Amino acid sequence: MGVNIMAMGSYLPEQSLTNDYFKRFVDTNDEWIRTRTGICSRHMAGWEPVWYMGKMAAQKAIEKAGINPDEIGLVIVSTITSDFLTPSVASVIQYELGISNASAFDLNAACSGFVYMLDAARRYLETDENLKYVLVVSSEALSRFIDYSDRGTCILFGDGASAAVISRSDKMYSSFLASDGSGARKLFARNMAVAPQVKQDNDFDDGFPEKPQHQLYQDGKEVYKFAVKALPKAFNAAAEKIGITSIDIDWFVPHQANVRIIETAAKNLGTGTDKFIVTLDHHGNTSSASIPLALCEAIEKGIIQRGQKLALVGFGAGLTYGSIILEY
């Protein structure tokens, strides 16, 4: 059983920041950021909470799907930057949009979150015949967890949300999900609620400079090396299950982290970058929101069309990775 992406909607914060903005905090320049990452600008949440961005995206998706919110039986939100430890962002969005007959929960698989969430939605649809529609939402505000004195990290991230209404379908579908916990300390942020004087287990930050409790640590080079291998590995594993190759795919929609990662992965897959949807130039890396933001934009621009075969490929903290191949 596959899934039908009935409709999508996105929300980007009002503020958009160019690369030059970061010259206020760190020794950097537009040329370095463009050539080393492909990023030119990114949106940054000001007053907008994560639940609000998710709600706005979800509202558009529900309107476009032309369904009644009461017909949605499950709301899943993928986020690593929730406004709350509890309740879930999903429960807040459920209430805000009057989705009164649904269960709701959040999912954290970092930048692979949308791929994990869509696959979870499909499994619920497959096993619960009373479930008609699932609302999946990715909403992230990475800007609130960034060290603005770390020039290798602060320039990468952006904020935003994107949502889709999903139903079951008989269209082509395959998925592959994985996690390599041995890489957990290569990309992490601590929970703010932990007492600052408590030395955390596992010496996660060994070898990293000291940072305030909740900020994001990353070994950029190691994450890069992981990403260029994980992207083709995840796609090939999902493709093998249904006997197809990269030639059969119309559009790859990868996690938007660094254009050099996408170029190298495309080479490793033996396909051109012209089959890859790239929006990181104006979105930056929005973690789990990056794939649906790119997908939604390409659909709205008429680049991705009904009947085409798509490969969504995510990778991120965990280190998680995964791919979904589906017909749009």
Q: Which residues are catalytic?
A: 111, 255, 285
Minimum Å distance from CB 151 to ligand UT7?
A: 4
Which of positions 289-318 make contact with ligand UT7 (CB under 6 A)?
316
Residues 173-192 that bind ligand UT7 (CB under 6 A): 187
Residues of span 245-284 touching ligand UT7 by CB under 6 A: 257-258
34 binds ligand UT7 (CB under 6 A): no
What end-to-end distance do the CA atoms of the chain give, in Å? Answer: 14
Q: What is the DSSP letter of 210?
A: P
- H-type alpha helices, 201-258: 220-241
Does 234 contact ligand UT7 by CB under 6 A?
no
Q: Does 228 bind ligand UT7 (CB under 6 A)?
A: no
Pick the stretch among 149-157, 162-170, 191-199, 276-284 that binds ligand UT7 (CB under 6 A). 149-157
CB atoms within 10 A of CB 194: 11
Total residues binding ligand UT7 (CB under 6 A): 19
Buried b (16+ CB within 10 A) or exposed e, 3-13: bbbbbbbbbbb
Side-chain half-sphere CA neighbours of 96 within 13 A: 18
Choose, by CB under 6 A, the member of 4, 10, 37, 286 that binds ligand UT7.
37
Q: Is residue 21 part of the contact set for ligand UT7 (CB under 6 A)? A: no
Residue 293 · residue 305 · CB < 8 Å: no
Q: Is 49 in the site for ligand UT7 (CB under 6 A)?
A: no
Q: Please, where are the H alpha helices in the chain?
A: 30-37, 50-65, 89-96, 113-127, 151-154, 220-241, 259-268, 280-283, 290-300
Half-sphere exposure at residue 162, Cβ-oriented, CA atoms within 13 angstroms:
25
**Given 53, 74, 223, 265, the residue binding ligand UT7 (CB under 6 A):** 223
All residues at 6 or more sequence positions from 268 whose CB lies less than 8 Å from its CB, including other chains: 228, 229, 231, 232
CB of 236 to ligand UT7, least distance (A): 20
The reply to whether 28 sits near ligand UT7 by the rule CB under 6 A is yes
Residue 33 found at the interface with ligand UT7 (CB under 6 A): yes
Q: Is 208 in the site for ligand UT7 (CB under 6 A)?
A: no
Are the C-beta atoms of 318 and 112 separated by less than 8 Å?
yes
Sites of contact with ligand UT7 (CB under 6 A): 28, 32-33, 36-37, 111, 151-152, 155, 187, 218, 220-221, 223-224, 257-258, 285, 316
